């Protein structure tokens, strides 16, 4: 049995070294930190994350427990003593069933490039497959998937616009790009475009966790989820637009105008004439998307109003457009 390398308590490790020493891939580590605050590394003056020996030991323990079938959400916040005890009592945990990727059903996915050959569809509901990434945006047109999984040896064909086109063709809220070789700028551009990027050397447990985290991360709501009801009515928005404040750039007024405009499109999408059932589904999706965008802008407006002491009025009880 291979033993883990010793750690120096006086040394701080960068994310790549921390990932290598803990056995947690860098992309999985990012997801765990963002979603669960699994460890709290130090940050250097240049903005680099620096991990202590205690951070890495914690990551090792959690990686082992997750590999044994424990959901990351159930162990992420536990103290070290509890994690160590769970590992010591691990014999009955090995058989613990893992939850499926998306609740009680298999995640609907489209596989692109080498994803099918790598076995990425096991345990998932594969609704479409396209081996040629250059043709995927056409081949997947009209497919309603919950995720597009794209795997390739090199990222040279993974332009952000192409990946976005593939994701949009499948009406999927997220694209997961798996690679073996690729330059850092391409990875950065893909992530900036909203895509999940990870090294292809993920085992089954890590891949399952990556899919679940990508689908449940903030900003990736289920495509059929209803947005919250509007927070502001016309009078409240007008009051915020006309209130004097200390911000020279007039952000409250601009934000209120954006909220009002998105609210208008949300209502318009609900009332728009439909040519056929497919058109009705399309407009319903537009309404939900507008509602989610409106909710995000409302959150920003509330935060700004609280910071500036501006009037917020009472939350509106009105239901979302039908």
Domain boundaries, the chain: 15-93, 108-216, 234-308
Q: In the CATH scheme, what is the homologous superfamily, with its name and number, of domain 108-216?
A: Response regulator (3.40.50.2300)
Model confidence at 98, in pLDDT bands (50, 70, 90)? very low
Question: What stretch of H or E contains 150?
Answer: strand 147-154
Q: Where are the alpha helices (DSSP H) in the chain?
A: 15-22, 26-36, 53-67, 72-75, 80-88, 136-139, 160-169, 184-192, 204-216, 234-242, 251-271, 277-308
- Please give the structure tokens belonging to residue 254: 């601009």
CATH number of 15-93: 1.10.1660.10
- Please give the structure tokens belonging to residue 91: 């014999």
Which pLDDT tens digit goes with each residue over 237-277?
777 776 554 444 577 778 888 888 888 888 888 877 666 66
Query: Which whole-number Å values give the CA distances from 120 to 104, 126, 156, 176, 208, in the listed order?
Result: 19, 9, 21, 11, 9
Question: Same fold for the domain at 15-93 and the one at 108-216?
Answer: no
Structure confidence at residue 220 (pLDDT) = 47
Structure confidence at residue 311 (pLDDT) = 62
pTM of the model: 0.42
- Could you give phi then psi for residue 108, rounded to 5 degrees? -80, 120
In this predicted structure, which of 47-51, 132-136, 303-307 has the lowest mean pLDDT? 303-307
Give the strand order in the sheet containing 147-154: 125-130, 108-113, 147-154, 175-181, 196-199
Q: How many CA atoms lie within 13 A of 113 on its CB side?
A: 25
């Amino acid at each position: 049995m291979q033993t883990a390398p010793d750690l120096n308590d006086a040394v701080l490790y960068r994310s790549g070294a921390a990932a290598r020493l803990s056995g947690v891939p860098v992309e999985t580590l990012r997801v765990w930190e963002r979603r669960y605050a699994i460890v709290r590394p130090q940050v250097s003056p240049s903005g680099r994350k620096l991990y202590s020996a205690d951070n890495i030991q914690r990551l090792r323990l959690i990686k082992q427990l997750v590999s044994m079938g424990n959901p990351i959400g159930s162990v992420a916040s536990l103290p070290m003593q509890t994690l160590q005890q769970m590992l010591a009592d691990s014999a009955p945990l090995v058989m613990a069933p893992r939850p499926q990727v998306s609740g009680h059903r298999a995640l609907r996915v489209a596989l692109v490039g080498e994803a099918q050959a790598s076995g990425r569809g096991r345990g998932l509901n594969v609704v479409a497959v396209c081996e040629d990434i250059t043709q995927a945006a056409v081949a997947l047109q009209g497919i309603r998937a919950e995720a597009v999984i794209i795997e390739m040896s090199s990222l040279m064909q993974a332009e952000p616009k192409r990946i976005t086109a593939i994701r949009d063709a499948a009406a999927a809220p997220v694209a997961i790009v798996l690679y073996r070789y690729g330059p850092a700028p391409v990875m950065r551009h893909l992530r900036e475009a909203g895509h999940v990027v990870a090294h292809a050397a993920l085992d089954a447990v890590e891949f399952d966790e990556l899919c679940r985290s990508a689908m449940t991360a903030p900003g990736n709501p289920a495509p059929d989820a209803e947005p919250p009801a509007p927070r502001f009515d016309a009078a409240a928005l007008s009051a915020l637009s006309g209130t004097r404040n200390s911000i020279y750039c007039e952000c409250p007024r601009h934000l209120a105008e954006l909220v009002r405009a998105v609210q208008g499109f949300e209502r318009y999408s609900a009332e728009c004439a439909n040519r056929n059932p497919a058109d009705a589904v399309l407009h319903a999706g537009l309404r939900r998307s507008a509602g989610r965008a409106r909710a995000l802008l409302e959150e920003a407006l509330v935060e700004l109003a609280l910071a500036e002491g501006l009037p917020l009025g009472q939350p509106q009880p009105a239901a979302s457009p039908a």
